[in-house]
């Protein structure tokens, strides 16, 4: 039985994708006003610098997401003064992000339902810690979240065992007593499943990107609509309390995907490690 539900933040409890577009435009506006740079040039440069930043700091560290570093790199690229503009731009970006966030519909009610059933609610997120704390506060979830693990705190990004170990330590549960929900198949679904947790893929904002990814194709993953496995009068989070029973229903799952799957007896609770259970709304 599930004792803890762990949520990702970005593109899971709110649309990072939409807010990032708005906030990046603010940065382009700043560069236009202060340095007469075209919006397209700035936005293209930021995308290129994101890749350079990954190579510079590494792929498994919270600093990969640092806007301080990225905006400093942007200014350096064009031989522009980094002071005070780096810190100003960083504040502009994150303030715009916070101002435009909207909590996913029904999520607060779902969390309240789980809390009444004594289910712990945790956060596991790839990002620098401070801004993720500010997002939780801004979204009105401060009194609903029991613990948080960030990649900056753990010293590793999802799906690192090191990060999931810290989740288990804080939740004080076994992996099989934990349900993970997030938008990234590799980080929030396949990773947690391989660790021993249950997982649901929240596909609302990243479906096309994820299903066209090399990871998805190389792992020959099969997507199953989780809602097709639960009773019509049973809510998503109501069923999540006993998700082990739902995902152990081999007959129902096999019927849904036309008997294409082969059940691995060593991993009955996940049917097959190639099966991804999808939800599109809370």
Superfamily of domain 4-15+103-279: HAD superfamily/HAD-like (3.40.50.1000)
- Where along the chain do its domains lie? 4-15+103-279, 16-100
Could you give phi then psi for residue 271, rounded to 5 degrees? 65, -65
- Distances in whole angstroms, Cα of residue 56 to Cα of each of 71, 150, 190, 204: 14, 20, 27, 31
Whole-number Å distance between alpha carbons of 59 and 184: 15
Within 8 A by CB and 6+ apart from 170, the residues are 122, 147, 149
CA-to-CA distance for 275 and 265, rounded, in angstroms? 14
Are 50 and 70 spatial neighbours (Cβ–Cβ below 8 Å)? yes
Angle at 92 between CA 90 and CA 97, to 5 degrees: 95
State the SS3 of 87-130: HHHHHHHHHHHHHHCCCCCCHHHHHHHHHHCCCEEEEEECCCHH
Task: Judge contact between 171 and 120, C-beta under 8 A.
Answer: yes
CATH, range 16-100: 1.10.150
60-83 burial: b if 16+ Cβ within 10 Å, else e = bbbebbbbebbbbbbbeeeeeeee
pLDDT at 57: 85
Query: Whole-angstrom Cα distance, residue 181 to residue 150?
Result: 15
Each residue's pLDDT expressed in tens, for the chain with a length of 282 residues: 899 999 999 999 999 999 999 999 999 999 999 999 999 999 999 999 999 999 998 877 778 899 999 999 999 999 999 999 999 999 999 999 999 999 999 999 999 999 999 999 999 999 999 999 999 999 999 999 999 999 999 999 999 999 999 999 999 999 999 999 999 999 999 999 999 999 999 999 999 999 999 999 999 999 999 988 888 777 888 888 888 778 777 666 666 655 444 444 444 444 456 889 999 999
User: Element (H or E) spanning 137, and its range?
Assistant: helix 129-138
């Amino acid at each position: 039985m599930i004792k803890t539900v762990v949520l990702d933040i970005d593109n899971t409890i709110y649309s990072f994708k939409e807010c990032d577009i708005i906030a990046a435009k603010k940065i382009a506006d700043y560069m236009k006003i202060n340095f007469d740079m075209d919006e397209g040039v700035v936005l293209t440069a930021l995308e290129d610098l994101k890749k350079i930043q990954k190579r510079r700091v590494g792929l498994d560290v919270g600093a990969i997401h640092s806007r301080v570093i990225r905006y400093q790199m942007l200014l350096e690229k064009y031989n522009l003064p980094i002071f005070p503009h780096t810190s100003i731009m960083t504040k502009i970006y994150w303030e715009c992000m916070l101002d435009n966030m909207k909590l996913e519909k029904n999520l607060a009610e779902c969390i309240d339902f789980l809390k009444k059933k004594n289910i712990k609610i945790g956060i596991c997120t790839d990002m620098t810690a401070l801004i993720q704390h500010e997002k939780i506060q801004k979204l009105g979830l401060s009194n609903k979240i029991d613990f948080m693990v960030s990649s900056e705190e753990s010293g590793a990004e999802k799906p690192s065992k090191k990060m999931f170990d810290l989740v288990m330590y804080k939740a004080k549960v076994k992996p099989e007593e934990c349900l993970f929900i997030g938008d990234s198949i590799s980080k929030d679904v396949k990773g947690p499943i391989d660790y021993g947790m249950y997982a649901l893929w929240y596909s609302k904002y990243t479906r096309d990107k994820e299903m066209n990814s090399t990871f998805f194709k190389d792992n020959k993953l099969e997507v199953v609509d989780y809602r097709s496995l639960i009773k019509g009068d049973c809510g998503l989070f109501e069923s999540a309390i006993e998700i082990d029973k739902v995902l152990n229903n081999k007959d129902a799952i096999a019927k849904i995907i036309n008997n294409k799957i082969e059940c691995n007896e060593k991993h009955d609770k996940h049917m097959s490690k190639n099966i991804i259970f999808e939800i599109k709304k809370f």
